[in-house]
Structure 1
Amino acid sequence: MYPVDVTITEIVQESPSTKTFFFDKSFEEALPGQFVMVWIRGTDEIPMTLSYRNAITVQKVGDATEKMFELQEGDHLGIRGPFGKGFTLPQADEKVLLVAGGVGAAAIALLAEYSMSVGSSVTTILGARNADEMLFLDRLTPCGGLHLTTDDGSAHRCGFVTDVLVETDTLEFDRIYTCGPEMMMKCVFGILEEQGSLEKAEFSLHRYFKCGIGVCGACCMDGDGLRVCKDGPVFNGLQLVDSEFGKYMRGPSGNKKQF
């Protein structure tokens, strides 16, 4: 459970608000959707999904990520993991639908590349605030059909990933995966529930973590008491029925925060 020291070997500016940090250790055993605890020395330790086997993709949203944006190649991070339950891997000849929003594309891109490598048929719906914030087009385009949406209409379709999803017959797909802002995923949840596709869908959740290994209980969800860090962060759609998903989350003190 001790962090492994890694050296940052490359930093890629993916968008105005997002960077990818490559390091000198590759986590080949990690499943798409699993996470690592990233220790930014002197600041904090935070959970991050692996966007490559040897990289994390970070959006500047708080003190820890702001500090990360000050790091340079040759600087060091501490990494614990990988932890948690990742996506169920698709099989050859299965039809796969991926729905990603914002930095949620980090986990989805790794899953798309794996799916293509085993012979799955991949369709991706990718959304972002604007064209500049669209992530990993170079990785997702070769994997199969790609539908793009932007909130402001600056690239391709103006609207949200759910606008494309409601026009999609999800019953045609064997597996459905989604990662992104929780309110986006809650809307995806509702559409899939209406279409009778919830059982074959998996959702990658984001919650406040302290330990990352299921001991402290900080990330427990109301309902069945599921621990997002240990029982997730990827959950089957049926596990989220009647849970706090899409209603509220908890901060460091444990107090509920409404979406």
Structure 2
Amino acid sequence: MTESALPDIVTLTKVIDESPSIKTFVFDKVFDIRPGQFCMVWIPGVDEIPMAFSAANSITVMKVGDATTSLFELKAGDKIGIRGPFGNGFHPEGKTLAIAGGIGVTPLFTLAATGEVDTFILGARTKTELIFTEELEKVTDLKIATDDGTFGYHGFVTGIMDELDISEYDSICVCGPEMMMKGILDRLAAKGLAGRGQFSMHRYMKCAIGVCGSCCMDPNGYRVCKDGPVFSGEILLTGELGQHHRGPSGRRE
């Protein structure tokens, strides 16, 4: 793992429109990554933001703010900076279930690509926001939920989860909106299975090497960039998941 303070300057070779609000940016360098690791993406003259890898040479991004809006304006031939990879990533053992919500599919897509995921539950608000479905169907048993019922199960990913015998899975790897992850953790805890959960956390990050403290989680002080971003469900049971987080200034919100 590289922990350089300087980014690698890469050239975009392809920009793929995955949905009206999601794009994949493919670059000309292949990084040595583990599924679930992230990088710091430098948009020249704009900002540096954390993003999960969607492959060893790509990131998949949802437009949500100023930095990602600027990123969406780039095209093949433009340059960005990539610092990383950082973090621990997923470490599944045995029979594995992956549960993704929205853009949270990105780090779990890299895990599924290894062939280690037996069942994959993918959720999105609506059909047009579903991405990577064709690729996932080739490597895992894919189950889909949409909030509005436009494709697959009508409801949340937890509805599909409730239909499965979760005790059959040795590892449950999760990434998505925090309240979704909280609902999944609560279900695992109720069955005494919190320790089988691996949850990819998202927090504001600045340094990505564990120095600045902007991504620390209360009350245990774990740094998402260095100790995570993937944490055991047992650790998160006593933490801030679904309760609060720290904003850009470091204050609790």
- The one-letter amino acid paired with 2:112 is A
Paired residues for 1:184-199 under 5 Å: 184-199=180-195
Which digits, 9 at most, give the CA deviation of each residue in 1:161-213, with x for residues without a partner? Answer: 00111221111011110011111111111111112221111000000001011
**Correspondence for 2:137:** 141
Q: What SS class does the counterpart of residue 124 from structure 1 fall into?
A: strand
Task: Report the Cα offset of residue 121 of structure 1.
Answer: 5.7
TM-score, normalised relative to structure 1 = 0.94
Q: What SS class does the counterpart of residue 249 from structure 1 fall into?
A: coil
Question: 1:177–1:202: 8 Å Cα contact kept in structure 2?
Answer: yes
> How far apart in 2 are the matches of 1:112 and 1:223?
32
**Correspondence for 1:99:** 99
Q: What SS class does the counterpart of residue 49 from structure 2 fall into?
A: strand
Which digits, 9 at most, give the CA deviation of each residue in 1:70-100, with x for residues without a partner? Answer: 001100000100011111144xxx2110000
Task: Report the Cα offset of residue 133 of structure 1.
Answer: 0.2
Q: What SS class does the counterpart of residue 77 from structure 2 fall into?
A: coil
Question: 1:171–1:196: 8 Å Cα contact kept in structure 2?
Answer: no
Q: What SS class does the counterpart of residue 248 from structure 1 fall into?
A: coil
**Correspondence for 2:24:** 20
Q: What SS class does the counterpart of residue 208 from structure 1 fall into?
A: coil
**Correspondence for 1:79:** 82
**Correspondence for 2:50:** 47
Which digits, 9 at most, give the CA deviation of each residue in 1:6-37, with x for residues without a partner? Answer: 0000000001100000000011x211111000
Paired residues for 1:1-259 under 5 Å: 1=4, 2-27=6-31, 29-90=32-93, 94-114=94-114, 116=115, 120=116, 122-257=118-253
Question: 1:208–1:251: 8 Å Cα contact kept in structure 2?
Answer: yes
Q: What SS class does the counterpart of residue 10 from structure 1 fall into?
A: strand
Question: 2:39–2:83: 8 Å Cα contact kept in structure 1?
Answer: yes
Structure 1 residue runs of 4 or more that deviate by more than 3 Å after TM superposition: none
- The one-letter amino acid paired with 2:175 is C
Q: What SS class does the counterpart of residue 189 from structure 1 fall into?
A: helix
> How far apart in 2 are the matches of 1:39 and 1:144?
33
- The one-letter amino acid paired with 2:8 is V
Task: Report the Cα offset of residue 144 of structure 1.
Answer: 2.2
> How far apart in 2 are the matches of 1:171 and 1:245?
23
TM-score, normalised relative to structure 2 = 0.96
**In percent, how many aligned pairs have the same letter?**
52
Runs of at least 5 residues in structure 2 that lack an aligned partner in the other structure: none
- The one-letter amino acid paired with 1:153 is G
Question: 1:33–1:234: 8 Å Cα contact kept in structure 2?
Answer: yes
The count of residues paired between Structure 1 and Structure 2 equals: 249
Q: What SS class does the counterpart of residue 138 from structure 2 fall into?
A: helix
> How far apart in 2 are the matches of 1:76 and 1:58?
16
Runs of at least 5 residues in structure 1 that lack an aligned partner in the other structure: none
> How far apart in 2 are the matches of 1:10 and 1:197?
42
Q: What SS class does the counterpart of residue 131 from structure 2 fall into?
A: coil
> How far apart in 2 are the matches of 1:78 and 1:145?
35
> How far apart in 2 are the matches of 1:202 and 1:96?
11
